[in-house]
Structure 1
Amino acid sequence: MKAHKIYALLLLGGAIALAAGTVGASGAVAPAGSLSERWAKLRTEQPKLQIRDAARTLGTSEAELLATGIGKTVTRLSDADHAVNDIMMRALDLGTVMALTRNENGVLERTGVANKAKPQAPTGDAEKDKENAERFRAVAGGYLGGEIDLRFHFKNWKHAFAVVQPGRDGATSRSLQFFDAQGNAAHKVYVKSEAGVAVFDKIVADFKHAKQDGALGIVAAAPKAAEKADSAVDVKEFQLAWKEMTDVHQFNRIVSEFKLTREQAMRLAPEGMAQKIAPQALRKVLDEAAKQQLPLMAFLGNGAVTQIFSGKISKTAASGEWYNVLDPEFNLHIRESALKSGYVVQRAGVTSVEFFDNDGELVVTFFGVRERGKPQTQAWVELTRAL
């Protein structure tokens, strides 16, 4: 095997292990045959297994599996109202971090420094000042644009943990890890500077949960709603609304108003507005963007947060069922084997490429980088046409 391929595979192994957030020891008070012991055995048998996949194998949630380390490598953090907002606001002071967001079939990891927002000055109007404070808390005081670019849906965040454990490189790894009510990972923040250690320790001390146990009260996910029959959709009105869009950000509202799934909206789009492509086109998007040094935007979310990367990419590689971007400050991992379809989409004069998995869930979306209010680059348009 060529050296560069070996290097790519080694990088991938480290990245996926980091995405997993595997703890190094089980809980201190676990009884015989406990979840922690079963996980310890599974780690021995499959040391590279991601924690998300390990949870599925063991019939539990990722949050519950992580919680087996409480008292050793894991500290449970507050689940009080707005605690996760406040923790993320304080995390702005960590400096350089690696921010990780994943869904079932994609992982996006970005290393950098998050932008801080400036709170609005008091107006003297109590109601107005309250609204401004709530708006500021909804974005956790920043994260808009810049290297760590996040769009929060905090209503779907529930559990928070601080994890301190040996990393694969031997150094101590420190992270803040957040989960939804079902115990699925929402977002993870890894400290990447010595200056951030004291900030991390203070966050842990200030937000330590009164109950350091694994009784998380995980709830089952609600059954997925059946897709509305195409015959019950006012397709003509939907297509008219699509054509009248003046901003691509209006799309989610339109899909919601017509009670459609996102992939269904692709199927029912006006002629020429959503061209179906093969899942294998994922490689062409990434490979061509790297080859041409064409800046792109990658959006990857999970219902709790959407993370956005903007910039040029360089190194792409396949490993097993994953196709990857393996750059020093940006990693993207997409499980190709789970992709069912892709679409080149035209909305409000902007072209995107979207990929869906076998369950019809959106995995990742790509745009060409452009300045707001200005046309997209011709190079991006030509790349998408070639798909």
Structure 2
Amino acid sequence: MKHHHRYALALASALVFGAMPAMAADAALAQRWEKLRAEQPKLQIRDAARALNVSEAELLATSIGKTATLLKNDGNAPREIMRRALDLGKVLALTRNENGVLERTGIATRIEQDAAAAQTAAGAPGDPEREARMRNIAGGYLGGEIDLRFNFANWKHAFAVEQPGRDGQTSRSLQFFDENGNAVHKLYLKNEAAVGIFDKLVADFRAADQNAALKVLAAAPKPVEKADSAVDVKEFQLAWKEMTDVHQFSRLLGEFGISREQAMRLAPEGAVQRVSPKAVRNLLDESARRKLPIMAFLGNGSVTQIFSGVIEKTAASGDWYNVLDPDFNLHLRETAFNSGYVVQRAGVTSVEFFDKNGELVVTFFGVRERAKPQPQTWVDLTSNLPKA
């Protein structure tokens, strides 16, 4: 055998055997998942991943080549996939965090070309805030039935999934995960006429290497909260009072280096009223009873989804309290709630609920028309929530 042939054969063997441990691990995980599904057929993939001590992305990756296709995740690929997904028409958009899930079915709005051009032209060249905004625009999803705010920097893994649905029909979805393998957003096709569009999208964004190992990182420890005594509380309270828009609040937290719930403690007198974690039931039940339009914000650091409208059906189920309307579902693990707050900022009243780890689960606002006061019915509802 010639020398270069022997070298090529040795290199090929090394590649095969070098890949075997990862392949064997994937196969072993797939077998463990199959066994778990047989024992608990109704178990959701997120809960299965927790039971198997892996991330949801790693678990889904065991289905690559069968029901899952790995999609490109480099550069602007996640943003461009979401931009192309505007062509799908009716979809179910699902966003979740550890203790909340928001599902909305509808058609996403598309930014008109002239509006998109104006956005692109806005701001001075080289302006970091402008550039950040532009990186997180996907051609639409602003307002309307599917209302999303993106932080694409945290979108690290993407899959297309085709599998039998619970209704017996084929379920087609695009699923996105962060660097820790946590699901951050999923889009389910609800428009049979767009199956061809979905297939073309998957073909165009299919990753070249379907056997590439996922680089899933362990979650970093949560930053230690700054001591209250280290905060210039007087200046913070003054800055709070000077806010002219609720959207300035996140910047305020960054400037003072404090957490969101810490800000609730340090707020100016009268700006925050603590309520019972169970007040989430009162808020949803009363909103439904009064037919009061509300806004629900639920996010995870990678995307925030917003619902606006009237809710109808609320119900408890195990650890969860739910809104179960035809085109809107909200699932809140109320047993994990630790605190709630009615918050006054820039003339706007919100209600925020935090879990036992101090993480924001969901925020509610009353729906109001631009440049008009918030509805008094919303203010009255929030003032009557049970206090902590």
Check whether TM > 0.5. Answer: yes
Q: Paired residue for 1:69, among 46, 63, 68? A: 63
Counterpart of 2:358, as a letter, is G
Q: Residues 351, 135 of structure 1: CA spacing in aligned structure 2 closer, same or farther, 3 A cutoff?
A: closer
Q: Residue by residue, what CA displacement relative to the aligned partner does 1:241-278 show, whole Å, maximum 9, x if unpaired?
A: 00111111111110111111100000111111111111
Confirm or deny that 1:85 pairs with 2:79.
yes
Q: Residues 374, 275 of structure 1: CA spacing in aligned structure 2 closer, same or farther, 3 A cutoff?
A: same
Q: Paired residue for 2:90, among 96, 100, 104? A: 96
8 Å Cα contact 1:105-1:335 kept in structure 2: yes
CA distance in 2, matches of 1:181, 1:351: 34
Counterpart of 1:194, as a letter, is E
> 2:184 matched to which residue of 1?
186
CA distance in 1, matches of 2:39, 2:207: 33
> 2:9 matched to which residue of 1?
none
Q: Residues 347, 132 of structure 1: CA spacing in aligned structure 2 closer, same or farther, 3 A cutoff?
A: closer
Whose Rg is larger?
Answer: 2
Please state how far the C-alpha of 1:72 moved relative to its aligned partner.
Answer: 0.4
> 1:270 matched to which residue of 2?
268
> 1:349 matched to which residue of 2?
347
Counterpart of 1:98, as a letter, is L
CA distance in 2, matches of 1:369, 1:30: 53
CA distance in 2, matches of 1:321, 1:108: 16
> 1:107 matched to which residue of 2?
101
> 2:117 matched to which residue of 1?
120
Please state how far the C-alpha of 1:301 moved relative to its aligned partner.
Answer: 0.1
SS of 2:194's equivalent?
helix
Confirm or deny that 1:56 pairs with 2:64.
no
RMSD: 2.1
> 1:21 matched to which residue of 2?
none
Moved beyond 3 Å, runs of 4+: 29-33, 131-137
Please state how far the C-alpha of 1:195 moved relative to its aligned partner.
Answer: 1.9
CA distance in 2, matches of 1:32, 1:269: 50
> 1:46 matched to which residue of 2?
40
Percent identical residues: 70
Q: Residue by residue, what CA displacement relative to the aligned partner does 1:89-112 show, whole Å, maximum 9, x if unpaired?
A: 000000000000000000000000
Counterpart of 1:278, as a letter, is S
Equivalences for residues 192-203 of structure 1 within 5 A: 192-203=190-201
Unpaired stretches in structure 2, ≥5 consecutive residues: 1-22
Equivalences for residues 1-387 of structure 1 within 5 A: 34-118=28-112, 119-120=116-117, 135-213=133-211, 215-387=213-385
Q: Residue by residue, what CA displacement relative to the aligned partner does 1:352-377 show, whole Å, maximum 9, x if unpaired?
A: 00000000000000000011221000
> 2:5 matched to which residue of 1?
none
Q: Residues 127, 229 of structure 1: CA spacing in aligned structure 2 closer, same or farther, 3 A cutoff?
A: closer
Please state how far the C-alpha of 1:138 moved relative to its aligned partner.
Answer: 2.1
Q: Residues 285, 241 of structure 1: CA spacing in aligned structure 2 closer, same or farther, 3 A cutoff?
A: same
CA distance in 2, matches of 1:246, 1:132: 20
Counterpart of 2:374, as a letter, is Q
8 Å Cα contact 1:70-1:214 kept in structure 2: no
Q: Residues 115, 133 of structure 1: CA spacing in aligned structure 2 closer, same or farther, 3 A cutoff?
A: farther
CA distance in 1, matches of 2:161, 2:223: 35
8 Å Cα contact 2:26-2:62 kept in structure 1: no
8 Å Cα contact 1:356-1:363 kept in structure 2: yes
8 Å Cα contact 2:33-2:52 kept in structure 1: yes
How many residue pairs get aligned? The number is 357
CA distance in 2, matches of 1:202, 1:363: 36
Q: Residues 32, 71 of structure 1: CA spacing in aligned structure 2 closer, same or farther, 3 A cutoff?
A: closer
SS of 2:117's equivalent?
coil
